Amino acid sequence: MKGTGVSGLALAMFIALFTFGTDIVGYRDPDGKVQLALFATFVFGLLVGYRTRG
């Protein structure tokens, strides 16, 4: 599969930001809106990537 390394890197970055984003970046997210935006962006990226591959 072509691009597996990049996909793995993107997945690792997503997990790190989703899980430890407040510690890494330092944002405050008491309502979970930033985590929701990260999750939505990841899902939309998966959908677009899937549709692009055909």
The chain-wide mean pLDDT, for the chain, equals 83
Domain that holds residue 20: 4-53
- List, in order, residues 6 or more apart from 28 with CB less than 8 Å away: 22
Quote the number of domains for the chain.
Answer: 1
pLDDT band with cut points at 50, 70 and 90 for residue 54: low
pTM score: 0.68
Distance CA 27, CA 24 (A): 9
Section 16-45 average pLDDT: 88
pLDDT band with cut points at 50, 70 and 90 for residue 3: low
E strands, 1-54, in order: none
Reported as a single tens digit per residue, the pLDDT across 9-23 is: 888 888 888 888 888
Q: Per-residue DSSP letters for 23-34?
A: HHT----TTSHH
